[in-house]
């Protein structure tokens, strides 16, 4: 029996108890499952299909999310590399250490004492033998020790940490000069040959999506109700229905008169809409190509949206209700060019819509969009001229000519602010620039709407460097450890060749 563990009272300094339990629930004990067949083998370590299936199931139960069989297999295979390396280095743990870890695990204790009944219940619930648990703990300890060795050797100096802080957490004291492209528009020469060449080079940009121009009539409870009169008797009745409270006096009728009037008018408007809706629907159906009869009979104004094409993306961006989008870009309105049925937009409002004109999806010809091409060409060429002017100014600055430029007032810009407003390339340029020898650093940001010349006067580290420095060292250490472990794992993969077995993963059904 396992009575010897009762004499151990001090908690383990290594977290092997937690490692053991996580290993057990991650399928580590399945290494003891007998069987000569395997999916693959790394050195002497076999990866069996039962291992993979069990590990996949346990990962899914633990995370609550689907886990692919391939991922489960690859994880076990990486563990096999580490385990084989640990075996080759004779990394081991004694039985007394394992017993101490189990005895000190709070899951098996009451009042600080080991309770064997809890331990036995755990084994039974897990479906494990004591031998399998100990064997699994030994292997997991060896793997963890090996993994720690793979991550070792990553001491971080204060100098390294300060470099990272300066790079990623320190604000830059900056001044800027913007070179507006609009200032160079007059210098752009335009003729048809240049515009046609620009069109051919950018043809994909001018592939036009399906679009529509349309008109509609609106049934609105608010609009129709506003035309309704409200009697004093109706107001008094509505006022009498206002609930009273012992904690607050009832407001005077005069103070709530405007609100009650509006509420009554909206209710009346909703009743008018309910009566008119069927008539509107009939008129739209019986006169499918025009909304004029609705205007003639009911006096509802026809609103036109015909000043520009409306695409589905534009409608969505402008938050047009989905129900209206589905009707407007549906077969009856867009293809057959019929009036729609009344579309419920909410809040007692209905629209009947009709397409005035439809643009099919197509590649726009040069003649069709010449004005747009000219506008785009001029904008692009003007920015090129602005960028060239900014580059010349940068070149002059680097030569020491600082007399002819008017900089903005100085301001502090953090890396977080910079990354939010800059492209990736511009941010990389900005983050690498460093003032030196009491001279500012100059960079040119070209991925903005207009090119911007930036003068970096100083790098200002965080004021609480005493707190930031240890955190930075910890982050660097963890990153170095992770990179080192990955590099060493790759070395192990080159050292130990995987031997394929006869068992298959059968991932086709996932």
Per-residue pLDDT reduced to its tens digit, 404-434: 789 999 999 988 888 888 899 998 898 888 8
Is the model's pTM score more than 0.75? no
Read off the pLDDT of residues 485-498 as tens digits, 9 standing for 90 and up. 888 888 888 999 88
pLDDT at 16: 33
180-212 in b/e burial notation, b at 16+ Cβ within 10 A? ebeebeeebeeeeeebeebbeeeeeebeeeebb
Closest CA to 492 of 155, 147, 154, 153: 147
Higher-pLDDT residue of 302, 3: 302
Higher-pLDDT residue of 127, 343: 343
pLDDT at 67: 86
Higher-pLDDT residue of 152, 47: 47
pLDDT at 33 over 60: no
Predicted confidence band of residue 28 (pLDDT cuts 50, 70, 90): very low
Read off the pLDDT of residues 269-328 as tens digits, 9 standing for 90 and up. 999 999 999 999 999 999 999 999 999 999 999 999 999 999 999 999 999 999 999 999
Distance (Å, rounded) from C-alpha 414 to C-alpha 456? 12
With beta carbons less than 8 A apart as the criterion, state whether 179 and 451 touch. Answer: yes
With beta carbons less than 8 A apart as the criterion, state whether 266 and 258 touch. Answer: no
Predicted confidence band of residue 465 (pLDDT cuts 50, 70, 90): low
Could you tell me how many residues make up the chain? 510
Pairing verdict, β 109-110 and 113-114: antiparallel
Distance (Å, rounded) from C-alpha 182 to C-alpha 375? 12
> In the chain, pLDDT over 90 holds for what percent of residues?
43
pLDDT at 166: 63
Predicted confidence band of residue 167 (pLDDT cuts 50, 70, 90): low
What rounded mean pLDDT belongs to the chain? 84
Distance (Å, rounded) from C-alpha 126 to C-alpha 30? 11
pLDDT at 451: 95
Distance (Å, rounded) from C-alpha 388 to C-alpha 179? 10
Read off the pLDDT of residues 197-210 as tens digits, 9 standing for 90 and up. 999 999 999 999 99
- Measured CA to CA in angstroms, residue 191 lies from 188, 374, 406 at distances of 10, 9, 35
pLDDT at 161 over 70: no
With beta carbons less than 8 A apart as the criterion, state whether 99 and 9 touch. Answer: no
pLDDT at 281: 95
């Amino acid at each position: 029996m396992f009575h010897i563990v009762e004499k151990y009272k001090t908690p383990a300094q290594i977290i092997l108890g937690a490692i053991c339990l996580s290993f057990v629930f991650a399928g580590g004990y399945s290494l003891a499952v007998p069987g000569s067949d395997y999916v693959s083998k790394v050195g002497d370590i076999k990866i069996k299909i039962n291992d993979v299936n069990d590990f996949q199931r346990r990962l899914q139960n633990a995370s609550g999310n689907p886990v692919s069989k391939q991922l489960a297999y690859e994880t076990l295979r990486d563990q096999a590399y580490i385990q084989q390396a640990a075996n080759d280095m004779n990394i081991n743990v004694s039985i007394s250490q394992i017993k101490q870890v189990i005895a000190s695990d709070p899951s098996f204790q009451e009042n600080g004492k080991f309770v064997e009944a809890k331990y036995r219940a755990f084994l039974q619930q897990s479906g494990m033998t004591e031998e399998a648990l100990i064997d699994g703990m030994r292997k997991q300890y060896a793997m963890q020790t090996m993994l720690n060795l793979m991550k070792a050797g990553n001491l971080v100096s204060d100098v390294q940490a300060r470099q990272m802080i300066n790079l990623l957490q320190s604000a830059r004291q900056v001044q800027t000069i913007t070179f507006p492209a609009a200032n160079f528009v007059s210098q752009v020469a335009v003729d048809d040959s240049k515009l046609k060449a620009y069109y051919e080079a950018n043809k994909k940009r001018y592939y036009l999506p399906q679009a529509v121009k349309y008109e509609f009539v609106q049934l609105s409870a608010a609009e129709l109700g506003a035309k309704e009169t409200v009697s004093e008797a109706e107001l008094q009745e509505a006022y009498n229905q206002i609930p009273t409270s012992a904690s607050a006096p009832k407001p005077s009728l005069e103070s709530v008169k405007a609100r009650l009037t509006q509420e009554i008018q909206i209710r009346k408007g909703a009743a008018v809409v309910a009566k008119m809706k069927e008539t509107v629907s009939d008129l739209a159906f019986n006169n499918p190509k025009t909304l004029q009869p609705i205007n003639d009979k009911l006096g509802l104004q026809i609103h036109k949206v015909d000043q520009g094409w409306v695409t589905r993306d534009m409608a969505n961006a402008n938050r047009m209700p989905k129900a209206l989008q589905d009707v407007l870009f549906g077969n009856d309105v867009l293809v057959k060019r019929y009036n729609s049925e009344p579309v419920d937009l909410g809040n007692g409002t209905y629209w009947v819509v009709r397409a005035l004109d439809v643009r099919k999806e197509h590649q726009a010809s040069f003649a069709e969009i010449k004005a747009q091409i000219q506008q785009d060409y001029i904008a692009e060429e003007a920015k090129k001229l602005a960028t060239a002017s900014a580059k010349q100014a940068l070149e002059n600055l680097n030569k020491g000519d600082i007399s002819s430029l008017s900089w903005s007032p100085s301001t502090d810009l953090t890396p977080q602010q910079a990354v939010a407003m800059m492209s990736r390339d511009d941010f990389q340029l900005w983050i690498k620039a460093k003032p030196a020898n009491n001279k500012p650093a100059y960079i040119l940001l070209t991925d903005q709407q207009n090119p911007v010349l930036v003068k970096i006067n100083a790098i200002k580290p965080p004021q609480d460097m005493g707190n930031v420095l240890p955190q930075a060292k910890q982050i660097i250490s963890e990153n170095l450890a992770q990179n080192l472990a990955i590099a060493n794992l790759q070395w192990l993969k080159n050292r130990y060749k995987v031997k394929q077995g006869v068992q298959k993963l059968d991932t086709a059904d996932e």
